[in-house]
A and B are shown apart, each in its own frame.
Chain A
Amino acid sequence: MRRLLGPALTILLGAAFVALIGWLLHQQPSPAAVAVPHQGAADSHHVYLHLATYPDSMAGEHGKDGGAEPDWVSYGPTTTLNVPRHSLVTVTISQYDGGEAITNPWFARVHGTVGGSETVDGKTVTGVDPEAVGHTFTIHAAPTAQDPLFVSVPLPAVPDEAPPAAGSDYPKPIEVTFSFRTKGPGKYVWNCEFPCGDGTYAKFGGPMSTRGYMSGTLTVT
């Protein structure tokens, strides 16, 4: 009997220690894994942004000759966006580029916009065909003190066989419109989540990994 006392005591003490730490951790409030965006009170502003996505760099911020990499896909007219705080932002993107199946179909759905939807050539949708995505426009916030912001919309691909529109090198664009609300001031990054870069790193190279093509910043002032 006596010989069992020591081990039994050790086991009890060990279990008590585990229980103590467990109890301490159990007291810790753990925030929900995903913060639900909070819709603020009346908005002071309503602002509009107009962007476009091109199959090359001849029309964006890189100049008429396309800059250093004229063949790279690009966003235009600029990739540096500024919007006011506590505002409704309505974005229209003219999408001129073709596309393919997206690696991660989650990004073929709309996230974080007003109403959870976008309009594609006037039609309201909550997602597009994951087999034919051109690009996405995805705003992220790093989990810092600033207000969280996450908005992601897919831009459907222009069919490959679409002819150039009259007086243009590009086909007729698909018009995508959506709105989101900003909260307090902050610095955010946005990028395309469709691997549309060059061959390196599974198409995450080139325009996907160079600032000013498929990514930029959004500053809420």
Chain B
Amino acid sequence: MTVADTYQTDPVTGGPDGGIMRRLNVGTGILGGVVLALAANLLADWLAGDAVHEVDVRATATMVGWAVGFMAGLGAFTGPVRWLLGRDLTHADELFLAGKDQGEGRYFRFTTDHKVVGIQYLVLTMVMLGAGGTMAMLIRTDLISPNSGFLGPQTYNSLVGLHGLTMILATIIMVTGPFGNFVVPLMIGARDMAFPRLNALSLWLLFAMLPVLYSAAFLGGIPMGWVGYTPIADQGPAGVDSYMVAILIFAVSTAVAGANITTTILTMRARGMTWTRTPIFVYGVLASVVLALPAFPMFMAAEILLLVDRLMGGGFYIPSLGGQPWLYQNLFWLMGHPEVYVILIPAVTALMELTAVFARKPLYSFRIAVLSIIAIVGLSVTVWAHHMFASGWAPDLNGPFMLTTELISIPTGGLFLVILGTLWRGRIWATFPMMCTYAMLWNFIIGGITGIYLSDVPLDYQLHGSMFVTAHFHYTLMGAGLTGAIGALAYWFPKMTGRMLGDTPGLVSFWLVQIGFNVTFLGMFMVGLEGQPRRVVHYGASLHTGNLISTIGAYFIGVGMLVLLYDVVASWRHGKPASMNPWGAKTLEWTVPNPIPLENFAVLPVVTEDAYGYGEPVRDAPARAPAPVAAGAGPGQGPGQGGGTGEEART
């Protein structure tokens, strides 16, 4: 039974079709947002006109007003409101919400179809990465010489903070957003997500968040950097209010998305898809959102306390009022370290998924992969204070935190071994996505091992706060995480857009980005070891060469990313049409035709084997049975086009 069926057979709740909801879209959303923002601003002025914290109260009220107004104007609350009024959505309304027969317009509405949401997430992520990348280029341009004076110190610090925050938020959503939404329901043989409306809600909240976040640039910036540390956050300009409100919206979005994805994966897997037959990418997405579910509320709580401090004269973080900045640091890193695995795990498991396909081998030791993921999820909530070794908080706990931090590298190594084992003696098809696996292995070795150095307390006292740390986490977040997401994009692009991504520009971009990346951040390790601090615009003349090297490398990354952008846009518009299963993969998402019908599967599939049956003789009997899923039902599709291997095991 599908969601749609429920509504069809429930005559009591149905009201009349249609209504205002059919006329709402992102335009009415922006209108609603602006109107409510103005109203909230005036109201705050009236209520708190001469309070000490007037500026912050007004700024915060305006931003919250914008977000609520935008969501209302977009129609995000139509369903619940109509339900409250006793005129629940009709079946036709549900289909309208799902975007049926609406062409391109559905991408600009509160559309519930998981495929639409996945594409929206993809575009949103690309926009955010573009914004963060632009800032990165400016940062590196400023650091081209010891005292370039291109940007002043305050502009520079705000830029570094906004770059960091933009990139962290983008990398958190970059895999679970686009691919978790578009691919996972297909991969587990479901018709949609468990809560399609929450799905749309989680996406559009992020859209509402972006203007709030970037308003910081006009409100004095975020001088405390991406971590938002107090006491500067307590004292900073109204830009800090932008930071707080943006994080609050983001936390709601991830909570909603996390609950939705978790429920979907736990309850909606196809019949026969037991846990041992569930593809590793599904585990990765599940681990990521399950980890985010307890982690992000910590961040949210941290910002709520900050809000009380800044708006109402509370003193949670102000020592002279009995408060404690360490409280902020603890709450932040209780989110912050799990978060790095929220980012990493889905990216690595996407690469595992495609490595098995391109090596034409079963995933090596599926169980170690699963156990490693579970161990990482468990351990990752026990290591947060390695970010606070040098802060003076709980010196007695430095040893235990060093131990847990070093322990976590063991299951992380497990993930490495699984990929290496899968490659071992595989028949490798070196496509662009596959190259991303190699790059990830190289980069993540460097990122992971420098992480082990940093977890050593005495060494961390030396390196903390230096560019060495910056280089470490770029190797992990960008070198491993973002590379994995790019691999995932290249791999699933044919299914998501119906067209092939150009391989040649893809590989040109790959080499530009990867060489540029290693040049940039090896240079940064160098100057970090020589003592260049983070977040400082001027540096000593002796560090010039290393910084120049980093800047040149960064320009290579920039050019490479633009080539990739060109490749994506050009291929999306007029790339080679993709067959149903161009890579000859065995997971369920490749059994649906292009373009994918609204309900995904005509008949829900039943799974009889794991997804990695490569290297076994092709059997007579179908490996994975009843997919009367019209293979070849889509226009121009046919089984004959499926990949270069002739393996059509499931038809």
Within 8 Å of chain B (Cβ to Cβ): is A38? no
Which B residues touch A32, using CB under 8 A? 153
Per-residue contact bits, chain B 379-394, to A (CB 8 Å; 1 contact, 0 not) = 0000000000000110
Within 8 Å of chain B (Cβ to Cβ): is A142? yes
Closest to B236 in A: A143
Among candidates B134, B153, B236, B559, residue contacting A11 with C-beta atoms closer than 8 Å: B559
Which B residues touch A30, using CB under 8 A? 151-156
Interface residues of A in 3-51 (CB under 8 A from B): 6-7, 9-11, 13-15, 17-18, 21-22, 25-26, 28-33
- Whole-angstrom distance from the CB of A146 to the nearest CB of chain B? 11
Q: Which stretch in A88-96, A110-118, A127-135, A204-212 binds the other chain?
A: A204-212
CA A209 to CA B320, docked complex, whole Å: 7
Within 8 Å of chain A (Cβ to Cβ): is B428? no
CA A78 to CA B507, docked complex, whole Å: 71
CA A189 to CA B505, docked complex, whole Å: 60
**Cβ contact within 8 Å between A191 and B159:** no
Which B residues touch A191, using CB under 8 A? 319-320
Q: Which stretch in B171-179, B560-568, B576-584 binds the other chain?
A: B560-568
Among candidates B150, B234, B322, residue contacting A210 with C-beta atoms closer than 8 Å: B322
Within 8 Å of chain A (Cβ to Cβ): is B600? no
CA A215 to CA B322, docked complex, whole Å: 10
Closest to A190 in B: B320
**Cβ contact within 8 Å between B320 and A31:** no
- Whole-angstrom distance from the CB of B391 to the nearest CB of chain A? 9
Given A30-B155, A33-B153, A209-B322: A18 touches B558 (CB 8 Å cut-off): yes
Per-residue contact bits, chain B 314-347, to A (CB 8 Å; 1 contact, 0 not) = 0000011110101000000000000000000000
Given A22-B138, A33-B153: A142 touches B235 (CB 8 Å cut-off): yes
Within 8 Å of chain A (Cβ to Cβ): is B137? yes
- Whole-angstrom distance from the CB of B383 to the nearest CB of chain A? 21
Among candidates A11, A26, A142, residue contacting B563 with C-beta atoms closer than 8 Å: A11
Among candidates A6, A21, A29, A189, residue contacting B320 with C-beta atoms closer than 8 Å: A189
**Cβ contact within 8 Å between A211 and B320:** yes
**Cβ contact within 8 Å between A211 and B559:** no
Interface residues of B in 88-144 (CB under 8 A from A): 134-135, 137-138, 141
Which A residues touch B156, using CB under 8 A? 30
- Whole-angstrom distance from the CB of B556 to the nearest CB of chain A? 11
In this complex, the interface size class of chain B, counting residues with CB under 8 Å from chain A, is 35 or more
CA A103 to CA B362, docked complex, whole Å: 57
CA A21 to CA B133, docked complex, whole Å: 12
Given A10-B563, A14-B565, A18-B134: A202 touches B392 (CB 8 Å cut-off): yes
Which B residues touch A13, using CB under 8 A? 562
Within 8 Å of chain B (Cβ to Cβ): is A201? yes
Which B residues touch A6, using CB under 8 A? 566, 570
- Whole-angstrom distance from the CB of A80 to the nearest CB of chain B? 12
- Whole-angstrom distance from the CB of A40 to the nearest CB of chain B? 24
CA A13 to CA B137, docked complex, whole Å: 14
Within 8 Å of chain A (Cβ to Cβ): is B19? no
Which B residues touch A215, using CB under 8 A? 319-320
Within 8 Å of chain A (Cβ to Cβ): is B395? yes
- Whole-angstrom distance from the CB of A52 to the nearest CB of chain B? 20
Which B residues touch A202, using CB under 8 A? 392-393, 395
Given A7-B505, A189-B320, A210-B322: A25 touches B155 (CB 8 Å cut-off): yes
Given A21-B134, A22-B141, A209-B324: A10 touches B562 (CB 8 Å cut-off): yes
- Whole-angstrom distance from the CB of B226 to the nearest CB of chain A? 18
Given A189-B320, A201-B326: A14 touches B152 (CB 8 Å cut-off): no
**Cβ contact within 8 Å between B324 and A10:** no
**Cβ contact within 8 Å between A22 and B150:** yes
- Whole-angstrom distance from the CB of A158 to the nearest CB of chain B? 26
- Whole-angstrom distance from the CB of A38 to the nearest CB of chain B? 19
CA A30 to CA B538, docked complex, whole Å: 14
CA A116 to CA B540, docked complex, whole Å: 27
**Cβ contact within 8 Å between A28 and B563:** no
Closest to B563 in A: A7
CA A30 to CA B154, docked complex, whole Å: 6
Which B residues touch A211, using CB under 8 A? 320-322
CA A10 to CA B153, docked complex, whole Å: 31
Which A residues touch B321, using CB under 8 A? 211
CA A201 to CA B329, docked complex, whole Å: 13
**Cβ contact within 8 Å between B154 and A33:** yes
Q: Which of B135, B392, B562, B563 has the most CB of A within 10 A?
A: B562
CA A217 to CA B320, docked complex, whole Å: 9
Q: Which of B154, B395, B570 has the most CB of A within 10 A?
A: B154
- Whole-angstrom distance from the CB of B231 to the nearest CB of chain A? 9
**Cβ contact within 8 Å between A10 and B566:** yes
Which B residues touch A22, using CB under 8 A? 137-138, 141, 150-151
Which A residues touch B569, using CB under 8 A? 10
- Whole-angstrom distance from the CB of A83 to the nearest CB of chain B? 18
Q: Which of B134, B159, B236 has the most CB of A within 10 A?
A: B134
CA A113 to CA B274, docked complex, whole Å: 74
Among candidates A142, A189, A201, residue contacting B392 with C-beta atoms closer than 8 Å: A201
- Whole-angstrom distance from the CB of A187 to the nearest CB of chain B? 9
CA A33 to CA B234, docked complex, whole Å: 18
**Cβ contact within 8 Å between A31 and B562:** no
Among candidates B150, B159, B392, residue contacting A204 with C-beta atoms closer than 8 Å: B392
Which A residues touch B155, using CB under 8 A? 25, 28, 30
- Whole-angstrom distance from the CB of B442 to the nearest CB of chain A? 25
**Cβ contact within 8 Å between B566 and A7:** yes
**Cβ contact within 8 Å between A25 and B154:** no
Interface residues of B in 589-637 (CB under 8 A from A): none
Which B residues touch A208, using CB under 8 A? 319
Closest to A200 in B: B394
CA A209 to CA B315, docked complex, whole Å: 12
Given A189-B320, A191-B320: A17 touches B153 (CB 8 Å cut-off): no
CA A201 to CA B326, docked complex, whole Å: 9
Among candidates A7, A21, A210, A217, residue contacting B138 with C-beta atoms closer than 8 Å: A21
Which B residues touch A11, using CB under 8 A? 559, 562-563, 566
CA A211 to CA B318, docked complex, whole Å: 11
Interface residues of B in 231-284 (CB under 8 A from A): 234-237
Closest to B538 in A: A33
Which A residues touch B561, using CB under 8 A? 14
**Cβ contact within 8 Å between B505 and A29:** no
Which B residues touch A142, using CB under 8 A? 234-235
Interface residues of A in 174-191 (CB under 8 A from B): 189, 191
Ordered by A's residue number, 8 sampled pairs between the chains whose C-beta atoms are within 8 Å are A10-B566, A11-B562, A14-B565, A18-B558, A25-B138, A143-B237, A204-B392, A210-B322
Contacts beyond the supplied A14-B562, A21-B134, A28-B151: 11 A-B pairs with Cβ under 8 Å: A7-B563, A11-B566, A14-B565, A25-B159, A28-B155, A31-B154, A142-B234, A142-B235, A201-B392, A208-B319, A209-B322
5 tightest A-B CB contacts, nearest first: A30-B152, A10-B566, A14-B562, A142-B235, A202-B392
